[in-house]
Chain A
Amino acid sequence: MISSETRDIIVNGLWKQNPGIVQLLGLCPLLAISSNVVNALSLGLATTLVMAVANVSVALVRNFIPHEIRIPVFVLIIAALVTVVQLAMNAWVHPLYLVLGVFIPLITTNCIVLARVEAFASKRSTAHSVLDGVMMGLGLTAVLVVLGALREIFGKGTLFSGLDLALGPQAAGWVLHVIPDYQGLLLAVLPPGAFIALGLLIALRNLTESLRAERAGQHARPPASTSSDAATA
């Protein structure tokens, strides 16, 4: 039995307010790291972890933070958490750390983390904040993984290359060669490929939403405009 509030948080994070394709927040890692599934999934999960812990920390101390300095305190907390995650990854998944490199500290500047802390965790209960952090993070991860899969298939014809970096050498043979003897499409691997794929995903999402609205008997409305107030990271 889940309350309607809990349900809303889950639906918002994964679909209605998805950070990747609706709020368009946190695009920097989205575009830079999504050249294959393993990178995308790893950075997505690292961001999810940071978002969940940042939301909990802020929700726990929200009554002690003076309104005027809340942003510096939030940034301080997020930066400290990201550094801890970075140290932990460097220590325990070193090869993966070498690949994700500079993008881990950049989670700090990913505005989706600050956005959720400010818009949600600083006002709501601790339990709901954890859920919001996890769901928003998973929503972002899902978009990253789909982008990563698209770019990896079209760019290199494989799936899950580099899995051994995360799981150890025994995973080296798990690479799927989706298109055998594929010559590769450089555009998909380079940053422009990320923009194009993201554009297609957003279009697809808007299409499904407008089809659903039509089926519900409403007049087809223009897709909800959310990008006007959303800064990109």
Chain B
Amino acid sequence: MNPALRETFSTSATLLVFSVICASLLAGAYLVTRPTIEHSEQVEKMRLVAQALPPGSFDNDPVRDARPLAPDPLLGLKRPGLAYLASQGGTPVAVVLEAAAPDGYAGEIRLLVGIRADGRIAGVRVTAHKETPGLGDYIDVARSPWIHQFEGKSLEAPPAAEWKVRKDGGRFDYLAGATITPRAVVKAVHKALRYFAQHKDELLRLPPPAPGGKP
């Protein structure tokens, strides 16, 4: 074997050894952290879902009783989202839909829309957005109570023509300087209500009781 070739082989072998060591390190770290990560993601999701529902109004685990939703233009999701079903004593009381407003000022605004069985909104929460800090981010409940004004609204009240921000002749407040953001959110919440109206029976159906053994 000529020396140049031998050197190429030994260099490649060294690189391979380092790759294997690094890969095993990563695999180990992944296995160690996976249960904790899954748990904290679950807790985080539960915390958000619970915020979109009236406190104490349900006694099940909505994250466990979630069902996938096919992408629908009314929900604005590009990938299948989830519908979290809340029930109390075996009666469905509300459902939390994953939705998105595609037309925020800086891209998509992801929402959780909680809707009671009677069609009134229980609560809305923004889960992810890229709106301008200090300007458009008042849709986040951590920044301002703006998002609470949806509570109790439904498809009938206010009527469809008034599901707009005040500037456009509607019922919803906005903050001067940022109207694109609230406009997008109001539209997305209204669409989520229409989706609920169309799929109400399916969304409020209780999942079959978990077969014994696997949850």
Interface SS majority for chain B = helix
Give the number of residue pairs across the A-B interface with Cβ within 8 Å. Answer: 64
Contacts of B43 in A (CB 8 A): 94
Q: Chain A 88-104, CB within 8 Å of chain B: the 1/0 string?
A: 10111011001000000
Across the interface, do B33 and A87 meet the contact criterion of CB distance under 8 Å? yes
- A65 CA to B25 CA, complexed, in Å: 19
In this complex, the interface size class of chain B, counting residues with CB under 8 Å from chain A, is 20 to 34
Across the interface, do A156 and B134 meet the contact criterion of CB distance under 8 Å? yes
- A83 CA to B22 CA, complexed, in Å: 10
- Stretch in B12-20, B83-91, B116-124, B180-188 with 4+ CB within 8 Å of A: B12-20
Contacts of B30 in A (CB 8 A): 87
- Distance in angstroms from B113 CB to nearest chain A CB is 21
Across the interface, do A90 and B37 meet the contact criterion of CB distance under 8 Å? yes
By beta carbon, the residue of chain A nearest B44 is A94
Query: B33 is contacted by which of A80, A90, A156, A189 (Cβ under 8 Å)?
Result: A90
Contacts of B29 in A (CB 8 A): 83-84, 87-88
- A187 CA to B44 CA, complexed, in Å: 32
Q: Using known A-B contacts A87-B37, A90-B37, determine if residue A189 contacts B14 with beta carbons closer than 8 Å.
A: no
* 6 A-B contact pairs sorted by A residue (CB < 8 Å): A65-B18, A69-B11, A72-B15, A73-B15, A84-B26, A87-B29
Number of interface residues of A (CB under 8 A): 29
Residues of A with Cβ closer than 8 Å to B? 35, 61, 64-66, 68-69, 72-73, 76-77, 79-80, 83-84, 87-88, 90-92, 94-95, 98, 155-156, 184, 186, 189-190
Please provide the 4 A-B residue pairs with the shortest distance between their CB atoms, ordered closest to farther.
A80-B22, A91-B36, A94-B40, A91-B33
- Distance in angstroms from B187 CB to nearest chain A CB is 25
Contacts of A91 in B (CB 8 A): 33, 36-37, 40
